[in-house]
Amino acid sequence: MIELIPAIDIINGECVRLSQGDYNKKSTYFKDPLEIAKQYEDVGIKRLHVVDLDGAKCSTPKNLAVLERIRSNTSLDIQYGGGIKSSAALSSVFSSGANRAICGSIAVKSPELFREWLTEFGSDKIILGADIKDGFVSTNGWLENSTTSVYELIDSFLDSGLTQVICTDISKDGMLQGPTFDLYEEMQSRYDGINVTISGGISSMADIERLNNMNLRSVIIGKAIYEGHIKLEDLREWLQRG
């Protein structure tokens, strides 16, 4: 069954959600992200998706103290992204407790360094973050657009052992209108050896059921939980089915 990965997006140490990546369209849900992280663990969630939105915007991790608290107080497998644009930043993320690092902008702007990280740390620890708008990759907290397509980006790292990609459709993110099903089906079909994680637009358990029936492997859920469209008990029941 498809793996469910709840998201915690952080600004100033608080759990928030943006709409379509717009920092001016922010909703705050938990002052202490550890509170909801523990609730996820309690229902049986194994992996947590943590995004440092401050870090993504200013190009260096800014909420490592939150990461450290979640690591110290839960047994969750934590994947962390936002501002990882140097080897020092990557090391700080791992030393603060992340099991996996999500790297997006660096893969577009310094692909050789990203390849070095894949080789040094292994594809089980390094995730390619492909955030797209109209089919092209966006960087720096979605504030800059590139001319690189998502397929060009993935193709460029296949010979470096890439096995994990998180693809976020920015136009869908935080809108609760459902994901771009055709995009993810095509991506997973094209890259059978890669775990393509769906991100952006999940609005209900029906969306998850549909993705599962399409044989997709993992999905990130954010605003749908915080707005009550998907309840913690729904997550528990799904995990018990699996």
Q: Give the catalytic positions in this structure.
A: 9, 131
Token reading at 101: 């690092």
Token reading at 38: 């523990």
Residue 52 and residue 91: Cα distance in Å, rounded? 15
Are 168 and 199 in contact by the 8 Å Cβ rule? The answer is: yes
For residue 153, how many other CB atoms are within 10 A of its CB?
Answer: 23
Q: Which residues contact 187 (CB under 8 A, 6 or more apart)?
A: 150, 151, 154, 165, 167, 196
Phi, psi of 91 (to 5 degrees): -60, -40
Residue 43 and residue 57: Cα distance in Å, rounded? 32
